[in-house]
Amino acid sequence: MNLPARKYYPITEAAKRMQCQESDVLHLIAIGELDAYVFMNNFKLDDGKLMHLNMTEELVRRIDCFSSITGEQWSVYDIKKINNYDAIISSGYYAGTIDGLFYVDGLYLSPLEFGDDEIFVQQLSSERDLGGGDYPLDINFLRGEVTIEKRKICILEKDISSMSRREATESNKTIAKKAEIIPQLIKLIPEFNDVDVDETPAEKVVALVESIAASRGVEMPQMHIQTWRRYLGRK
């Protein structure tokens, strides 16, 4: 069955998707190389306490007639503006319920690298703050902490794909650098003094390199001809 592409993966499945260990995923999150989100299922604080919302005027204008605001993968309900409330530090907008996927700072996840099965957070956001003035919605739990189980932490497919593209770019840069260096190193071999390395077919260059290596008792590693072509700067 051809299923639609998934939008997110729990940590364990994200590791399989990235072909690495779960500990690698956690480390990437902790050092800020990969974003993590937590699933909050119609979450409310105990004893009817409210969550403080830090948001821009643009987000305030998006509050609908049902006292809620919704993003691509999250929703915030029961929003109200409070000016005087004894149990709250500052006046502003507050919410009673949050639902969906919310960004969590990687520093909160550090304990998971060392065997913990849950984290304690004081703030979640609609997304990572990338700067530039386009600020996300922040949900603050004020004086308390919220416990989140590791199984509710996930990685977005778009972030995994973005990391794969960055790795591919780095690989291309490495190959390009090798394509500059390796032909020049081959030209330093005396047997290539009369050989135009840049114009000679890759197969002939490889055959000559292997022949020279064999005559000197050097065992060459097996490498596909397509890899040789890339390293020689050939298309």
Give the model confidence (pLDDT) of 147-197 as tens digits: 999 999 999 999 988 877 766 665 667 777 788 889 889 999 999 999 999
Structure confidence at residue 70 as a pLDDT band (50, 70, 90)? very high
Max alpha carbon distance in the chain (Å)?
A: 88
Q: Across residues 101-115, what is the average pLDDT?
A: 92
Q: What is the pLDDT of residue 142?
A: 81
Q: How confident is the model at residue 219 (pLDDT cuts 50, 70, 90)?
A: confident
User: pLDDT value at position 163?
Assistant: 78
Task: Report yes or no on whether pTM surpasses 0.85.
Answer: no
Mean pLDDT score, 89-109: 91
pLDDT at 5: 80
| Relative orientation angle of helices 11-18 and 157-187, to the nearest 10 degrees | 30
CA angle 186, 187, 193 (to 5 degrees): 130
Task: Report the C-alpha gap between 69 and 86 in whole angstroms.
Answer: 25
**Category of 133 on φ-ψ map: left (φ > 0), alpha (ψ -120 to 50) or beta:** left
For residue 9, the cross-strand partners are 155
Taking only the tens place, the pLDDT of each residue in 23-64 is: 889 988 988 889 999 999 999 998 888 999 998 888 999 999
The CA distance from 225 to 201, in Å, is 11
DSSP string of 108-156, one letter each residue = GGGGGGGT-SEEEESEEESS---STT----EEE-TT--EEEEGGGEEEE
What 3-state DSSP class applies to 44?
Answer: coil
Q: pLDDT value at position 130?
A: 73
Nearest to 88 by CA among 139, 138, 52: 52
Q: Where are the domains of the chain?
A: 8-160, 189-231
The pLDDT assigned to 68 comes to 96
Residue 235: per-residue pLDDT = 64
Output the average pLDDT for the chain: 87
